[in-house]
Amino acid sequence: MSKRPEHQGPPEIVYNESEARKYTSNSRIMEVQRELSERAIELLNLPENDGHLILDIGCGSGLSGECLTEGNYNWVGLDISKHMLDIAQEREVEGDLLLLDMGDGMPFRPGSFDGVISISALQWLCNADKGQHNPANRLFKFFSTLYSSMVRGGKAVFQFYPENDAQLQLIMKQSVKAGFAGGLVVDYPNSSKAKKMFLFLYTGGAPQAIPHGLGTEEANQRTVQQQVVCASKRPKYKDLKGQSAKLSHREWLLEKKERRKRQGREVHPDSKYTGRKRAGRY
């Protein structure tokens, strides 16, 4: 396809019966899908044979689900394309399958899943395929309901193709707003063909280290390009334990500078004058 698939229409229309069969019978697509799925499972880093239940979002015809089965994980897959799910059933995948629009939210009970993977699906939520669609609202509905359906400390890995920086920032903003922490892992950041993006999120508990992206040693040292950290939520007032919720001007400024450093932006070095009010200014 010369255009991005999401430019051609809603996914349930783009992946009609004909396209769904072409997708699943294309050896190159199957190979790439398998590589991305295995990498997502690797980033998820959950023990095998431990009874974990994984949610596969945008499972399609079950190519990613087969990788989960090979890893001895139990899994549930959902997709908006009935034709993709029909093929998954024909292929007799072992996961449970649901026909569902991820933008409508997750219908699962709290704490259902230990982990989540998603391959090439998240960017579809950035499109307004119907008149009532609002990408920001749909992303927040998706992330907030997904958050509640995961166990505390559960991890989610989304491989996706943001069209531009604005889409990337929108996705990350809504995930943090919904309660997730985490960051962006970029494999082979200096390669135009091999570069792949994974959004690594977790649902709270103890802070978790963001995995390193694959690439050369030189690329691994350039953490700003391969690891973009999502700013975690601000502490709730009830967690301040008697401390003043209002920061001083210097504390606010230092916090802002630290946040910009985590985002890879340049900031002036700290000095004894940092945050000091100038005479005659109020």
pLDDT tens digits, 246-272? 456 677 777 777 766 766 677 788 887
Give the tokens for residue 133.
């669609």
Instruction: Say which DSSP state 130 is in.
Output: S
Domains for the chain: give ranges and CATH numbers: 5-233 (3.40.50.150), 234-282 (no CATH)
The residues, ordered by sequence, that sit 6+ positions from 94 with a Cβ below 8 Å of its Cβ are 65, 69, 75
* HSE of 241, CA atoms in CB hemisphere, 13 A: 0
How far apart are the C-alpha atoms of 6 and 44, rounded to whole Å?
A: 26
Give the tokens for residue 178.
């919904």
**What does the pLDDT read at residue 269?**
85
**What does the pLDDT read at residue 280?**
59
**What does the pLDDT read at residue 103?**
94
How many CB atoms are closer than 10 A to CB 2?
4
**What does the pLDDT read at residue 238?**
47
Q: Give the CA dihedral 209, 210, 213, 216, nearest 10 degrees.
A: -40
Q: Between 5 and 211, where is the model more confident?
A: 211
How many CB atoms are closer than 10 A to CB 224?
13
How far apart are the C-alpha atoms of 257 and 48, rounded to whole Å?
A: 41
**What does the pLDDT read at residue 192?**
83
| Average pLDDT for the chain | 83
- H-helix or E-strand spanning residue 202: strand 196-202
Any alpha helices (H) in 45-164, and if so which ranges? 63-70, 82-90, 135-149
How far apart are the C-alpha atoms of 91 and 88, rounded to whole Å?
A: 5
Of the ranges 136-150, 218-232, 246-260, which one carries the lowest mean pLDDT score?
218-232
